[in-house]
Amino acid sequence: MSRDPHYLLSAEAGFSAAHTLPGIDMCQRLHGHNWRVRLTVRVPESRLDGLGMGVDFREIERVARDVVADFEHRYLNDLPEFSDRPPTAERVAKVVCSRATERLANLAPAAEVADVEVWETPEYRVVYRPV
């Protein structure tokens, strides 16, 4: 990762969804969570716009909400992204990262995904960093 001066900007979104994790004690039974996702983007200082802004927080929030919209009130195991392996918090974070990277390329080219945090519960969180 570059040591050039940069900014990290974050926004959050949430969704309620169920999943099962075969072979994982109680988690192999159908259960749900009120998931929370934090999308953090990195913007090099050299890429700030004329106002000194990297990307509007509302754009980051919009991307975060859009990339999890189809998770809302779903059984995550049924979604194509989880057809080969179950939707662990780690896999959810990676899917969110992939989707956000695609959207940001068009909406905010100065921003790149720095990390994605996913909470299954207020106590349990995973952080995915693409690089």
The answer to whether 118 touches 49, Cβ cutoff 8 Å, is: no
φ, ψ for residue 57, nearest 5 deg: -55, -35
- Determine contact, residues 110/55, Cβ cutoff 8 Å: yes
Q: Answer for the pair 114, 8: CB distance below 8 angstroms, yes or no.
A: yes
Q: How many domains does the chain have?
A: 1
Q: Is residue 47 part of a domain?
A: yes
- The parent domain of residue 123 ranges over 6-128
Quote the pLDDT of residue 40: 98
Q: What is Dmax (Cα atoms) for the chain?
A: 54
Is the pLDDT at 2 greater than 80, yes or no? no
Q: What is the distance between the alpha carbons of residues 10 and 115, in angstroms, rounded to a whole number?
A: 9
Which pLDDT tens digit goes with each residue over 15-61? 999 999 999 999 999 999 999 999 999 999 999 999 999 999 999 99
Q: What is the CATH number of the domain that holds 108?
A: 3.30.479.10
Residue 1, domain member (yes or no): no
